[in-house]
Structure 1
Amino acid sequence: MKLVKKTINQTGPKHSATVIFFHGSGDTGSNLVEWVRFLLGKDLEFPHIKVIYPTAPLQPYTPLEGELSNVWFDRRSITIDARENRKSLASIYETVHELINEEENLGIPAERIIVGGFSMGGALALHTAYHLNTDLAGVFACSSFLNRDSIVYDSLKNRTKSGTDLPELKMFHGSRDSLVPLKWGEESFEELTKLEVKGEFSVLKNTLHELKKREILDIQDWISTKLPPLANDLQNKL
């Protein structure tokens, strides 16, 4: 397993649900926390939900000519028709499994865990929810895409629990994104919906490759709906 640092936002001593928010390539979990805080004017926090911001391991990154960068996996190039580097992906899968297992060991079931991310982090979230663990509560992906040959599509096509509900999906994409074109995000969403994924794709007008306040607020409201407080959470407030 590749060890990662984690920045955690938790408002109380106990939590009954968890959100894992993966940053984009070259970033860190602590920087993502600051970005969200800048946009909202406060942290993304909930009374009963722990929010985890992991930091990707430092490793050679081919699009940067092999320079070391904090990336979740290596890729041959930043384009939708490039072949996935499945060996690199398999390595980070171990880390993701460990992050989820840690929460499950604390008593948080998979159906009370949401994963999400920005850019490369959103792609990892899609891999997590539709290839590694389809029992999760939901997934959000911001300015992200899947390669056309993605193992995610293969996994969904071959899953044994066909007909059962998959994690709900929320995708967002800037209309003026030049790094990850809008059409890549739209194509990825369309392919996922063909494979029984249900969700929503939102186009952010006049938005580049970036997070926006209205996007985070929408995600915040959606998380609150998907992961409502349990009876024990309410009792702990009394």
Structure 2
Amino acid sequence: MAAARKLQMYALSPTGKHSASVIFLHGSGDTGQGLRAWVQDVAVPDLAFNHIRVIYPTAPARPYTPMRGSLSTVWFDRYKISRDCQEHLESIDTMCTTLRSVIQDEVNAGIPKHRIVIGGFSMGGAMALHLVCRYHPDIAGVFALSSFLNKDSVAFQAVEERFRAGLPLPELFQCHGTSDDLVLHQWGEDTSVLLKKAGMNTTFHSLPGLHHQLSQPEMEMLRSWILKRLPPTTSS
């Protein structure tokens, strides 16, 4: 496997003592700073916390097959944008290795993994699901906004194997707009159903009228969910 590359980061520091962290992955073609600006534009109150550091990494530019090989800031490659095709596991696993360093940086800063939440928008949500379900199931939770996994994703198998072994699994929070492409919304809902069937505790919210985008109601629900997973400590 290729050596992990250092990612560009945009981070929002807590206003008080840092005791938990959120890693929020952008969608295809975006950047961490772009996602942060989008969140700031739609989230009232802002997705900022007294005790939680929110980290927005940027994916390195790579050739992206659905764009005929043009460079794009994507977390992994796809053979095509379809729920039914094979996953591009080589690029997914390489990025899981790269993102492991982001998690480790937080651990090195004194944040235990059970005080870390990872999630993302669109492709970022799919990347978060691979990262958490297959490699870091000991974190506090995972969220996926307007996201889906391929029908035969290896992430489903990883969750099922862990569940059958009696090992704990993180909670999943999902949102998807009903005015997004109807096929994408169904794929997102199917992902939630399949992960729940495999043994994961999942919550799926359909948001009426929402396209493939972030929204204030969605950010309010996400903020509340994050605070439930990462409440302030007595020293925060």
1:154 is aligned to 2:157: yes
Contact conserved, 1:115 with 1:140, CA < 8 A, in 2? yes
Contact conserved, 1:112 with 1:137, CA < 8 A, in 2? yes
Contact conserved, 2:17 with 2:50, CA < 8 A, in 1? no
Contact conserved, 1:18 with 1:103, CA < 8 A, in 2? yes
Identical residues among aligned pairs (%): 45
Given the two structures, how large is their TM-score scaled by the length of structure 1? 0.94
Q: Specify the alignment match of 2:138 in structure 1.
A: 135
Q: CA deviation at 1:158?
A: 2.7
**Counterparts in 2 of 1:42 and 1:156: CA distance versus 1, 3 Å:** closer
1:207 is aligned to 2:198: no
Cα deviation per residue 1:52-74 (whole Å; 9 max; x = unaligned)?
00000100000000000000000
Superposed CA RMSD: 1.5
Q: CA deviation at 1:30?
A: 0.3
Q: Specify the alignment match of 1:222 in structure 2.
A: 225
Amino acid at match of 1:50: R
Cα deviation per residue 1:82-107 (whole Å; 9 max; x = unaligned)?
11000111110111111111111111
**Counterparts in 2 of 1:176 and 1:71: CA distance versus 1, 3 Å:** same
Contact conserved, 2:116 with 2:141, CA < 8 A, in 1? yes
CA distance in 1, matches of 2:200, 2:231: 22
Contact conserved, 1:22 with 1:55, CA < 8 A, in 2? yes
Q: Which of these residues, 5, 30, 46, is aligned with residue 8 of structure 2? A: 5
Given the two structures, how large is their TM-score scaled by the length of structure 2? 0.94
Amino acid at match of 1:65: R
Q: CA deviation at 1:200?
A: 0.7
Contact conserved, 2:195 with 2:202, CA < 8 A, in 1? no
Amino acid at match of 1:197: M
Q: CA deviation at 1:180?
A: 5.9
Q: Which of these residues, 182, 188, 191, is aligned with residue 194 of structure 2? A: 191
Contact conserved, 2:25 with 2:58, CA < 8 A, in 1? yes
Contact conserved, 1:118 with 1:144, CA < 8 A, in 2? yes
Q: Specify the alignment match of 1:236 in structure 2.
A: none
1:56 is aligned to 2:59: yes
Q: Map residues 68-147 of structure 1 onto 2, 5 A cutoff.
A: 68-147=71-150
CA distance in 2, matches of 1:68, 1:162: 41
Amino acid at match of 2:134: H
**Counterparts in 2 of 1:179 and 1:86: CA distance versus 1, 3 Å:** farther
Structure 1: stretches of 5+ with no match in the other structure = 234-238
Q: For this pair of structures, how many residues does the alignment match?
A: 233
